[in-house]
Amino acid sequence: MTTSHLTDEQFSDFLADDSASQEAIAHLDACEHCRAELAELHSAMGSFNEISLAWAEVEAPRRIQSPTSWQIRRRTLPAWGLAVATMMAVAAIGIHRELDLRSPAVPTVSTAEVTAPSSGELAQDNRLLMSIDQELSYQVQPAVPVNHRAHGTSRYPARQVAN
């Protein structure tokens, strides 16, 4: 006959229906206090387990559903993938807006690429333009008389109109 009651560890073994020591079993047989306490704990735990399981059986089908394919896909996409996708979307929007702001079908050349022509090149261009102008003046005549123009002010000589 022992004077001390069951320890917490021995109570734990009995509650879990684990193999209790011979000493603990002998004490339980002899000690009414420990038997009453264990019976009360057993009963309370039994009620708790029964009610909590009944609650979960009712609530689980109502509250817990299989994840949808959308949820699974969203979780499967890694964080870096999301970041890359976001950056690509932002870049696409930026490029689109940039193209909208520019004049359509007119290639732009940056000012850095434009170099000032030399004086020799300018003179050569001017000579070329003047020769083309003179050539055109002799070959092409206006389709209608331009009588209101003052002689000498026109770039083109007055034309003889046949009656």
- Interface with another protein (CB under 8 A): 7-9, 11-12, 15-16, 37, 40-41, 43-45, 47-61, 63-67, 71-72, 75-76
What are the angstrom distances between the C-alpha of 5 and each of 13, 15, 22, 40, 55?
14, 16, 14, 16, 35
Q: Exposure string (b/e) for 44-61, b if CB count within 10 Å is 16 or more? A: eeeeeeeeeeeeeeeeee
Residue in the structure block whose two tokens are 């007119």: 106
Smallest separation (angstroms) from another protein to the CB of 5: 10
Smallest separation (angstroms) from another protein to the CB of 35: 14
Smallest separation (angstroms) from another protein to the CB of 90: 27
Of 33 and 151, the one with the shorter C-beta distance to another protein is 33
Q: Give φ, ψ of 50 to 5 degrees.
A: -65, -50
Of 79 and 140, the one with the shorter C-beta distance to another protein is 79
Of 57 and 98, the one with the shorter C-beta distance to another protein is 57
Rounded to whole angstroms, how far apart are CA atoms 70 and 74?
6
Smallest separation (angstroms) from another protein to the CB of 3: 18
Q: Copy the structure tokens of residue 10.
A: 């021995």
Of 72 and 82, the one with the shorter C-beta distance to another protein is 72
